[in-house]
Amino acid sequence: MKHAAPAGERLQKLLANAGLGSRRQLEGLISAGRVKVNGRVARLGDRATADDRIEIDGRPVGGKRLAGNERFVIIYNKPEGELVTRNDPQGRKTVFERLPRLRAGRWIAVGRLDVNSAGLLLLTNDGELANRLMHPRYRIDREYAVRVNGEVTEDMVRRLVNGIELDDGPARFEDVVDAGGEGSNHWFHLVIMEGRKREVRRLWEAVGATVSRLKRVRYGPVILDSSVKAGQYRELTRDERRALLAAVDLHDRRPWGSLQPRTRQPAGRPAASPWKARRRH
C-alpha cells in the first residue's frame, strides 16, 4: 500500500523561496525554536504550504509572500563605502538602499564585500540558490582585481598559491596573474574559492603586501561588465541565468520574474572575463 506524499515543501525551503533568508539561516531559526507552524513550534524536517499559518519570532509571514514563487537575480556594482547590511547603527549607506523593491520576498546578498571593497555583488530573492552559491560544496570561484602596494616577488606569489595558514585556518589563491602597472599602481587578477571575511586582504598581508584597491569582477559564471556602472544594477541575461543554475546543480522549475515585465529580457552573451582571457595564453 502506497502512502500519500507529505503535503507542502520543507519549511526552510518554503521560507527561503519567500526571501526570508538563506536555507542555512532558516534552519538555524527552526532549530532554535523561533518558527511556529499553525501555533506549534516547528522542527527541522517539517513541511508546510502557503496556506499554513507561519510565524517567525511571533511575527506572521503573509501567505502572499509565501506564494510568491518568481525567482529574481541581479548584478549590483557595489561602490567603496557601502555596507552589505540592511541596517547600520552609524547611519552609513548600504547596498539595499539602491535596490528595486520586490513585490514579494526580499533581496538576499550572495556573500559579502567589506566596506572598502567594490565590484560585483549578486542579489536574489531565492534563498536556496543563495545558499548553494555560498556553500563550499559547489566550489564557486570568485575573481578579483587587486591593486597591491609593495614589491611582489615570485616567491610571494608561490606562497599565496600553495597556501598560507591564517588565524581561521589555511587559505590560498587558485592562481595569481600579473595585470601590469608600476609602483603603487600594480594590479593583479586572482581567483579564490572561498568567501571568508577579508580573506583576500589577509592573504596578501601574510606575505608582506598591502591591498589598496579590491574589486570583485566575477562570481562563478557571472561577470561584471562595463554596462553596470558603480551604484547600478541589472538583471541577468537568459544565458547567465542558465549558467548560474547549472553551476550549483539547481534544476527546479521555479519561474523567473522580471523587474521590467513589459521589456523583453535580452539574451546577450556574458562579457569575456579578464581572467578567462589570460588563461588561454
Look at residue 265 and tell me whether its pLDDT is greater than 50.
Answer: no
In three-state form (DSSP H/G/I as H, E/B as E, the rest C), the secondary structure along 142-183 is EEEEEEEECCCCHHHHHHHHHCEEECCEEECCCEEEEEECCH
User: For residue 255, what pLDDT is reported?
Assistant: 83
Percent of the chain whose pLDDT exceeds 70: 89
CA distance 186 to 261: 44
Cβ atoms of residues 276 and 181 within 8 Å: no
Q: What is the set of domains in the chain, with CATH numbers?
A: 9-67 (3.10.290.10), 70-256+273-281 (3.30.2350.10)
Give DSSP secondary structure letters for 97-119: GGSPPPSSS--EEES---TT-EE
Q: Give the angle subtended at the CA of 111 by the CAs of 106 and 114, to the nearest 5°.
A: 110
Per-residue pLDDT tens for 96-130?
999 998 877 789 999 889 999 999 999 999 888 99
Per-residue pLDDT tens for 123-165?
999 888 999 999 999 999 999 999 998 889 999 999 999 999 9
Which residue in the list 52, 88, 114, 239 is annotated as catalytic?
114
CA distance 130 to 28: 16
CA distance 2 to 68: 31
The grid cell for 104 is 514579494
Whole-number CA gyration radius for the chain: 21
CB atoms within 10 A of CB 277: 10
Look at residue 262 and tell me whether its pLDDT is greater than 50.
Answer: no
Helix-, strand-, coil-residue percentages of the chain, each rounded to 5: 25, 25, 45
Cβ atoms of residues 261 and 102 within 8 Å: no
The grid cell for 109 is 546578498
Per-residue pLDDT tens for 195-225?
888 999 999 999 999 999 999 999 999 999 9
Per-residue pLDDT tens for 21-58?
888 889 999 999 999 999 999 999 899 887 789 999 99
114 is catalytic: yes
